[in-house]
Amino acid sequence: MSDERAAVAEHLLMIGGAREIPRECFRAAPGLRISVLCRQEVESKVWDRKDLHRLMIVDRETSREEWLGIARAIHEHDRIDAIVDFTESDADKTSYIAERLGLRCYSGQTAQWVTDKYLMRARLGETGVDDTLAKRVVGPDELARAAGELGYPVICKPAGGIGSRGISKLASPADVPQAFTWSMEGTSGLDAEELIAEPFHQGREFSVECISETGRHFVAGITQKSIDQGSFVEVGHLVPAPLPEAEAAAISDTVRRMLDALEIRDGATHTEVILTKDGVRIIETHLRYGGDRIPNMLAAATGIDIQKAWARQAVGHSITAEVEEAMRRHRSDERAEFAAIRYRCANRRGVLTAIHGIEDAEGMPGVAEVAAVAGVGEQIGDLTGSLARLAFAWALGATPEEAAERARAAVDSLTFDLDDEPGCRP
C-alpha cells in the first residue's frame, strides 16, 4: 500500500474489541461509521454498542475466508475506508482482509512474525537485531533436549502467548516435567498449543511503547517493570523509567531496529526488553499498545497519548506533528511527572467474596485510579498469569519514588475476603 495518508475515513472496520478506544475514533472523525467484526471470546471488550453501525460476532472456528466473506459483503454495500485491530487478536484475519480489500494495514508476513515468537526470533536473528535462539518443543523430551542444547537456565513459554501466561524458567533438567505442564496450561484459549524454549536473559526488564507512521517510529515511553520471579507475572510498573540517557537511547535504538526488521510501519506497538550486562535483548513485541493502564499512565505523566494518536491515525489523520509536539513538551519539562501502578495478588487459593476500601484508596494523595481485577464470586488460583491479580492502584508523583509509594499505599490499604475452595487449606 502507498505510504500517503488517505482522506479521513467515513466507515471504519474494527477487528476485535477495543473497550473505550472507538470513542477517540468518533471524536477524530465526526459522522464516522464503525463496523466491528470479532469472535465470541472478545465480545466483552466491545463497548458502547449503541454507537456502532454494526456488530458481527463469529466463533473461534470461523475461517479467515469466512471473515473475508463477511467483510467483503459489507464493503460491497457500504464501502469500508479503513481497517484497524487495536487488540492484536486475529491479526492474521486483519491483514488478510486489508490485503484483499486494498486497505492500509500491516502485512500478513508481519502478523506472522509478531504473533509467533519462534518466527520472530528467526527474523530478528537473520536481520542482525537480536541473535537469541529459540527452539520449538513438543513434549517434555523435546524440552529437555532443547534446554540441554541452549544451556541452562532457559525459558519455556507458549509461542503465541499473551498476558504472562505459561512462562516457565528451567534451572536444571529436574525442572522439565513441571515446566512443560505449566507452559502447556498457558496455551489454553490460544489458537495453537505450540511451545518454544529460549535462553534466559538476566537483567532489568522494561517495556517500550511506540507509535509509528509511514515507517518512522516514535518511542513514546519506556516503562520499568516489576516482575514476580516465580511466575513472571507483572505486579507493578513505573513510567517513564528513570534511566540514564545512554541506556534509554540503547533501548530505543534496538526497538526501532526491531520494528524495521518486522516491517511495522504504522500504529502502536508494545515491546518487552531485557537490559543485560551485554546489551539490550528483545523478549517479544505486540501489534497493540501495552495493557495494565500503561497508556493511561503515560498520557497522565508525559502528555503523550498513544491511544488517542492511534485512533486518529486509524481514521486517516497524520499524527507525526502532534506526537512530535507532545514529546517536545515532555522533554522541556512542561509535562514531567511519573506514574506507577501496583497490583495485589492473593496469598492463597479461594473464592473472592468481597473487596473493601476502594473508595477510601481513591481519595489518597496522587491516586488516579483504584479498581478490582477479580470479580466477586471468582475462584482465585495461583499466580500463573496476569488475570490472577486481585486489584490495582495507580498514582502520579513528582518523583519515581513518590509515585511508586502512593500506588503501593493505595493498593495495600485494600482488604479482601476469600472463602476456601473445597479441599483447599489456607
pLDDT tens sequence across 40-85: 998 889 999 999 999 999 998 999 999 999 999 999 999 999 999 9
Domain 133-199 and domain 340-419 have a common topology:
no
Contact 305, 295 (CB under 8 A): yes
Alpha-carbon span 390 to 34, nearest angstrom: 34
Task: Tell which wins on pLDDT, 5 or 294.
Answer: 294
* Cell 520472530, located at residue: 120
**φ/ψ (deg, to 5) at 163:** 65, 30
Name which of 210, 200, 208, 220 is nearest 276 in CA terms: 200
Q: Per residue in 185-225, pLDDT tens? A: 877 766 667 899 999 999 999 999 999 999 999 999 999 99
Contact 82, 12 (CB under 8 A): yes
Name which of 62, 74, 111 is nearest 91 in CA terms: 111
Per CATH, which fold does 133-199 belong to? Dna Ligase; domain 1 (3.30.1490)
Helix (H, G, I), strand (E, B), or coil: what is residue 3?
A: coil
Given this model, what pLDDT does residue 162 score? Answer: 62
Angle at CA of residue 139, ends 135 and 145, nearest 5°: 50
Read off the pLDDT band of 164 (50, 70, 90): low
Beta-strand ranges (E) seen in 142-266 are 154-158, 168-170, 195-199, 204-213, 216-227, 234-239
Alpha-carbon span 115 to 123, nearest angstrom: 12
Contact 240, 290 (CB under 8 A): no
Q: Per residue in 258-268, pLDDT tens? A: 999 999 999 99
* Cell 517434555, located at residue: 140
Mean pLDDT of 366-393: 82
Spell out the domain ranges in the chain.
11-105, 133-199, 204-336, 340-419
Read off the pLDDT band of 383 (50, 70, 90): low
Q: Per residue in 113-162, pLDDT tens? A: 999 999 999 999 999 999 999 999 999 999 999 999 999 999 999 987 66
**DSSP-assigned letter for residue 334:** S
Q: Per residue in 325-350, pLDDT tens? A: 999 999 887 767 999 999 998 777 78
Query: Which of 3.50.50.60, 3.10.690.10, 1.10.3210.10, 3.90.1170.50 is the CATH number of 340-419?
Result: 3.90.1170.50
Query: pLDDT over 70 for what percent of the chain?
Result: 92
Helix (H, G, I), strand (E, B), or coil: what is residue 44?
A: helix
Alpha-carbon span 202 to 103, nearest angstrom: 42
Q: What CATH class has 204-336?
A: alpha beta
- Looking at residue 321, its amino acid is A
| Cα–Cα distances in angstroms (integers) from residue 354 to residues 344, 369, 392, 407, 416, in the given order | 14, 19, 15, 21, 6
Name which of 248, 242, 227, 273 is nearest 383 in CA terms: 227
Given this model, what pLDDT does residue 129 score? Answer: 98
Alpha-carbon span 216 to 40, nearest angstrom: 35
Report whether pLDDT(100) > 80: yes
Alpha-carbon span 186 to 165, nearest angstrom: 5
Mean of per-residue pLDDT scores for the chain: 92
Among 167-171, 302-306, 421-425, the minimum mean pLDDT is found in 421-425
Name which of 343, 372, 340 is nearest 358 in CA terms: 372
* Cell 525442572, located at residue: 175
Given this model, what pLDDT does residue 384 score? Answer: 53
Report whether pLDDT(282) > 50: yes
Query: pLDDT over 90 for what percent of the chain?
Result: 77
* Cell 461509521, located at residue: 33
Answer whether CATH 3.40.50.20 is correct for domain 11-105. Answer: yes
| Cα–Cα distances in angstroms (integers) from residue 388 to residues 132, 181, 373, 391, in the given order | 30, 18, 8, 10
Report whether pLDDT(96) > 80: yes
**DSSP-assigned letter for residue 19:** B
Given this model, what pLDDT does residue 182 score? Answer: 87
Given this model, what pLDDT does residue 186 score? Answer: 78
Q: What sign has the CA pseudo-torsion 346, 166, 287, 243?
A: positive
